[in-house]
Amino acid sequence: MVVASDLELLDLVTGHRRDGSEIPPVALTGGDLWRTLGGSPGLDRWRGEEGQRLHIDLGSALLDGRLHWFCSHLVARGSWLRGRVWVAANAAHMGAWNIAPRAHPGDGLLDILDADLPLGQRLGARRRLPGGTHVPHPQIRYTRTRAEQVEFARATSIWLDGRSVGSARRLSVRLEEEALLVVL
């Protein structure tokens, strides 16, 4: 299987997890996970013997009692400009941002960021996101763990690998170690 984005990979993973079948090896050609693993535009090494085969982790999330998966990141937030932002990252990159600079999809850990910054500090942190220099910050909790539970004061919008999946008040995340075989 060849996938060019995090969403394509998420759809593949979700389909196999929901029907109980084994996820086949996957060639990554794009997306945040691909970028975090060192993917580079124009290189199709996965086609030949030079392709790097990696066992990587997969995130799972229980959102108000319903099971979901994510390959790169789960984001729980209202607006980017105000309110709490909570991220479980398996990949360092999220678009142009290096949101979780220590994250690696094969290290057996999820990187959790939890912040509710005042607007001025939020804008400053946002400017530093591309380089990953928004952390450390005294008001951004950054931890690395295999599992975590969080509860929000009210239902909060949830995105898995960039796709909105609704909202939840309670969520639990955990890591499934070496759940996927990818080729770069």
CA separation for the pair 151, 177 (Å, rounded)? 24
Per-residue pLDDT of the chain (184 residues; tens, 9 = 90+): 899 999 999 999 999 999 999 999 999 999 999 999 988 776 555 555 667 899 999 999 999 889 999 999 999 998 878 899 999 999 999 999 999 999 999 999 999 999 999 999 889 999 998 898 888 888 899 999 999 999 999 999 999 999 999 999 999 999 999 999 999 8
- 123-138 confidence digits (pLDDT tens): 999 999 889 888 888 8
Three-state SS for 45? helix
Whether the bond between 130 and the residue before it is cis, its omega within 30 degrees of 0, is: no
Fold of 2-183: Tumour Suppressor Smad4 (2.60.200)
In this structure, are residues 109 and 175 in contact, taking their beta carbons and an 8 Å threshold?
Answer: yes
CA separation for the pair 44, 129 (Å, rounded)? 29
Question: Domains of the chain: which residue ranges?
Answer: 2-183
Strands 73-77 and 53-63: unpaired
